[in-house]
Amino acid sequence: MSNASNSFAEVTAPVAAKRPIVRSHHGREFVDDYEWLREKASQEVRDYLDAENAYTEAQTAHLANLRENLFTELKNRVKETDMSVPTRIRGWWYFTRTQEGKSYGMVSRVKATGAADEVPPTVDPEKPLPGEQLLLDCNELAEGHDFFAMGTSTPNDSGTVLAYSTDTAGDERYTLVFKDLATGELLPDRLENIDGGGTWLGDDYFFYTRVDEAWRPYQIWRHKLGTDVADDVLVFQEDDERFWLGVGTTRSEKFLLVAAGSKITSEVYYLNADDPEGELTLIRERESGLEYDVDHVQVAGEDYWVVTHNAFGPNFAVSVNKVGEKLEFDQSHTLVPHRDDVRIEGIDPFRDYLALGYRAGGIGRLAIMDLKHGAPNPDAAEGSVAKLFGTFEQIDFDEELYTCGMSANPEWDAQVLRISYGSFTTPGTLYQLDPATGERIVLKQQEVIGGYDPSEYTSTRLWVTAEDGVRIPVSLVHRADLDLGQPNPVLLYGYGSYEHSIDPAFSLIRMSLMDRGIIFAVAHVRGGGEMGRGWYDTGKTVTKKNTFTDFIAVAKDLLRRGVTTREQMVASGGSAGGLLMGAVANMGGEYFHAIHAAVPFVDPLTSMLMPELPLTATEWDEWGNPLAEVEVYDYMASYAPYENVEAKQYPNILAVTSINDTRVLYVEPAKWIAKLRATATGGQFLLKTEMAAGHGGVSGRYDSWRQAAFEYAWMINQITGLTE
């Protein structure tokens, strides 16, 4: 596990001399020696990134066998020729097939013949169904492109036309086309340079979003099939640069919804689906700090909005209001009250059921209300709207640590519901639930080729006290036969932003870690959503440092307990979790032998000072606005990884990025690694840039597996010394 040479010049062509710039805001100045790397179109920058890639390849050449072994292990566990469970949409069963040797899926359908609760057809992955119609072969669509990603794929109401969008650069700007499913021909209608999604109203009207120069979805447009796209109608425009737009229909398909939202504020409009060219109606005007989300439900023949909102407190509540009446948040309209210990995450309405997603004890959970057969809610006040509804029944599972949620359930009148389930040791499982009886049927479980015994692995949760006394949950996963009486290698993963929860989930490549004696650990740090909205609120803006100190506290605790040693521990995180990695490298790098940072957000202050960049203005509610507030500037400057690199020993660091990433620009890790190499007194610093990819990395499953094998091989070697 010794460090390799750090001399960049030994294996690369000479790099151009520094061209420093001086950034000045609020009377503060920062000298940036590497901002010239932002010139993406410059051949000099391309040559620099190519040289960095060559250096990284040279420094990791000894891991070639380990990379190949990891790739082969992963590939051999995957059922390459497989298919998804068919999903019923308007009289058709839609499903996706994969074939061995092909990188992308194929979308097919077959006619549904039974009732709405018909069990999906059993499909042989090796053989087509009678009457099966191939709609899209993404392998053909990807031909000639180094990168390929699907945005949306959605049929119109009659199932005669399919709208689908593609991205062939990785920059998340899509081209959407319409395919006649009777002839297989593409229609002349073509929408260029749009956001990836969209929604139909009926057979002829398609609503979609356009993005501005900062990649912000800011306009909703209406296209009528068969007309010139130049005649498309602008339906709504959001001028506040903090807000994004989204468009979709209620599950009942009775209403179109247009939602404007910032990180802290919501506003929703609706349109009757039978009047596609009508005017939008505002449900409730925006109010700073008020977040709400709506869907439609029918009770006793009346139309209601079922509304998830934070009007009563940060963990949200659910209210119901008649469509067309003023949206009220009071006890007479409350269906699910606010609780300090339960975070309401959303509600899915069906004709006869409501499905409630919520989080308690750090675990995401589900509950179902039977609108058709259930008894009225005895706790609701007499005369209240909520009295018309019933009570929720929790869906229970046996494991301590698990993940569950609603799966694909597009049908409004569905009598059986699909639930996804998994854990660190249980492969992803799709259940069919009959809410009336409670019966569950396994429709599909992720298959592990070669066999898998969950009893050979175990997951546990421990709690670590942060420096301010807050208890941080930590998940540990490892082989059940691992000797815990001695220190073992640990991969400590973290994220901690956007209220995103790192929930228990099964991973095929993680098996390769654990089978080599490595413990996979997750630090559920503040800034995430595991413990409710307060967990997020105390790890953002001017409390962001809690995210970093929580992670360091977990590392120190694992060392104190003797779970591992500094030489045996690697930290890993991506995107906003890459910011975490950069900050930890500066603030607590002495506790880790190595750090892996994927598409890392390591130059946040520079980005938040440039509103012309993708996402910046919409992110000010997450990080703060350093342009407007000197206090925010100073706070961000105190933790920004790039700006705080010091002349001291650092862990070995691998940063992975993509040239066309629009969420975290490649220039951030490129500058960071350059500064580390020039400033730090020790540590191996590597940069790998995918030259045809976006934020999610390379496309195609085989290339993605190889990318994962490269990154995991580096981490395994760092903490075990293994090269096979």
Give the active site residues.
575, 661, 695
Q: Which two tokens stand for residue 170?
A: 């990785």
Q: Give the DSSP H/E element, type plus range, for residue 133.
A: strand 133-137
Distances (CA, A) of 209 to 149, 196, 217, 442: 18, 8, 6, 37
Residue 695 CA to residue 693 CA, distance in Å, equals 7
CA angle 488, 493, 497 (to 5 degrees): 160
Closest CA to 598 of 676, 518, 678, 658: 658
Give Cβ neighbours of residue 685 (< 8 Å, ≥ 6 apart): 6, 650, 652, 653, 655, 673, 676, 677
Q: What is the dihedral of CA 680, 695, 78, 459, to 10 degrees?
A: 60
Q: Give the DSSP H/E element, type plus range, for residue 75.
A: helix 64-77
Say how many C-beta atoms besides its own lie within 10 A of residue 98's C-beta. 21
Q: Is the dihedral of CA 262, 525, 422, 448 positive or negative?
A: positive
**Helical residues (DSSP H) of 416-572, grouped into ranges:** 508-514, 533-537, 545-560
Is the Cβ–Cβ distance between 223 and 205 less than 8 Å? Answer: yes
Q: Which two tokens stand for residue 237?
A: 């425009």
What angle in degrees, to the nearest 10, is found between the helix axes of 545-560 and 630-639? 30
What's 333's DSSP letter?
G
Residue 214 CA to residue 607 CA, distance in Å, equals 12
How would you classify the pairing of strands 205-211 and 199-201? antiparallel
Q: Which two tokens stand for residue 599?
A: 């598409």
Give Cβ neighbours of residue 127 (< 8 Å, ≥ 6 apart): none
Q: Which residue has the tokens 């096979």?
A: 724
Say how many C-beta atoms besides its own lie within 10 A of residue 180's C-beta. 12
Distances (CA, A) of 227 to 166, 187, 188, 204, 218: 21, 10, 9, 10, 23
Closest CA to 184 of 216, 140, 215, 151: 140
- Cβ density class 263-286: b for 16+ within 10 Å, e for less: bebbbbbbbebeebeeeeeebbeb
Residue 657 CA to residue 63 CA, distance in Å, equals 20
Kindly list the strands in the beta sheet with 363-370, ordered across the sheet, starting from the edge strand earlier in the chain. 342-349, 353-360, 363-370, 392-395
Q: How would DSSP label each residue in 605-628?
A: HHHHT-TTSTTHHHHHHHH--TTT
Residue 520 CA to residue 455 CA, distance in Å, equals 17
Q: What is the dihedral of CA 367, 368, 369, 370, to 10 degrees?
A: -160
Is the Cβ–Cβ distance between 491 and 542 less than 8 Å? Answer: no
Closest CA to 366 of 352, 375, 355: 355
